[in-house]
């Protein structure tokens, strides 16, 4: 959050004409049914999401107090190439293609909406060029899956079965479901997700097969530190 304030201060001092603060759907907390819109009060449940919510409020305050031309985006779970291999999809893909097991948290019932990085960056560009100052825009991918459903797709795409899945204790503060309503960014800026999830996931699996020299050193370094 300190870094966010430093960036906002620098933007204000330099007269930066536009500032987009990229946040996460985690700031809303879990939702059992339906989807959060931008008017929903923030209810983060983990230290990470609480820090993100604090950054959102800082960005909003710089618009309200100083008139900074800032907009806030809140995205769902990203996936795509160059995704750090500690995250679910790259971790599972890189492990499975190396004939290693993967860890599935809890019962695997946690639900996430998956957003391809190309769609996310397209949406950020729309907000940067056409978004209204002081406004918040949710960005989603339109594909909600349980972690069990996603794991099955990754097993299928790598030719593995459930014997490669290790059930592990759920992590602390692990919200059951996130879901954001993207009506606002659709209506105001014309955004819609364009990458079909099945194709995007297949492309990602192939990318990790083809780019071992990028992710393998990262995993080795993480294993040494851990």
Class of residue 148 by CB neighbours under 10 A (exposed 0-12, middle 13-18, buried 19+): middle
User: CATH no. for residue 90?
Assistant: 3.40.50.720
pLDDT at 211: 98
Is 85 a domain residue?
A: yes
pLDDT tens per residue, range 60-98: 999 999 999 999 999 999 999 999 999 999 999 999 999
Is 9 a domain residue?
A: no
User: How does residue 224 score in pLDDT terms, banded at 50, 70 and 90?
Assistant: confident
User: How does residue 173 score in pLDDT terms, banded at 50, 70 and 90?
Assistant: confident
HEC sequence for 141-160: CCCEEEHHHHHHHHHHHHCC
Is 49 a domain residue?
A: yes
pLDDT tens per residue, range 174-190: 999 999 999 999 999 99
Is 5 a domain residue?
A: no
pLDDT tens per residue, range 116-160: 999 999 999 999 999 999 999 999 999 999 999 999 999 999 999
Question: What percent of the chain has pLDDT above 90?
Answer: 94
Catalytic entry in 9, 39, 43, 48:
48
pLDDT at 184: 98
Catalytic entry in 25, 56, 119, 144:
25
Is 120 a domain residue?
A: yes
Query: Is residue 56 among the annotated active site residues?
Result: no
Catalytic entry in 26, 113, 119, 144:
26
Is 10 a domain residue?
A: no
Describe the strand order of the beta sheet including 111-116 as a list of residue ranges: 77-79, 111-116, 144-146
User: How does residue 163 score in pLDDT terms, banded at 50, 70 and 90?
Assistant: very high
Query: Is residue 82 among the annotated active site residues?
Result: no
End-to-end Cα distance, the chain: 25
Instruction: Give the span between the Cα atoms of 177 and 103, in whole angstroms.
Output: 19
Q: Which residues span the domain enclosing 177?
A: 16-225
Reported as type and span, the H/E element at residue 33 is: none
Q: What is the mean pLDDT of residues 101-119?
A: 97
Is 75 a domain residue?
A: yes
Domain tally, the chain: 1
How does the average pLDDT of the chain come out, rounded?
A: 96
Instruction: Give the span between the Cα atoms of 152 and 101, in whole angstroms.
Output: 13
User: How does residue 222 score in pLDDT terms, banded at 50, 70 and 90?
Assistant: confident
Instruction: Give the span between the Cα atoms of 177 and 166, in whole angstroms.
Output: 22
Are 7 and 55 within 8 A, CB to CB? no
pLDDT at 171: 86
Describe the strand order of the beta sheet including 136-139 as a list of residue ranges: 19-24, 70-75, 136-139
Is 174 a domain residue?
A: yes
- What does pTM read for this prediction? 0.95
List all residues 6 or more positions away from 189 whose beta carbon is below 8 Å from its beta carbon: 123, 126, 127, 130, 131, 137
Structure tokens at 149: 């459903």
Query: Is residue 48 among the annotated active site residues?
Result: yes
């Amino acid at each position: 959050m300190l870094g966010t304030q430093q960036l906002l201060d620098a933007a204000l001092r330099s007269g930066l004409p536009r500032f987009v603060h990229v946040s996460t759907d985690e700031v809303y907390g879990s939702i059992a049914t339906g989807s959060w819109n931008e008017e929903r009060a923030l209810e983060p449940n983990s230290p990470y999401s609480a820090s993100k919510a604090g950054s959102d409020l800082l960005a909003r305050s710089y618009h309200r107090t100083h008139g900074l031309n800032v907009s806030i985006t809140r995205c769902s779970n990203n996936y795509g190439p160059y995704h750090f291999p500690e995250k679910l999809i790259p971790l599972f893909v890189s492990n499975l293609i190396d004939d290693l097991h993967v860890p599935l948290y809890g019962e695997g019932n946690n639900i996430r909406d998956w957003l391809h990085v190309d769609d996310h960056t397209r949406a950020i560009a729309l907000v940067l060029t056409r978004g209204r100052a002081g406004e918040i825009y949710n960005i989603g991918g339109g594909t909600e899956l349980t972690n069990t459903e996603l794991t099955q797709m990754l097993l299928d795409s790598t030719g593995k079965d459930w014997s490669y899945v290790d059930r592990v204790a759920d992590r602390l503060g692990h919200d059951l479901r996130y879901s954001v309503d993207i009506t606002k960014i659709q209506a105001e800026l014309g955004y819609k997700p364009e990458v079909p999830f099945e194709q995007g996931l297949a492309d990602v699996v192939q990318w990790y097969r083809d780019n071992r020299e990028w992710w393998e050193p990262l995993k080795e370094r993480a294993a040494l530190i851990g």
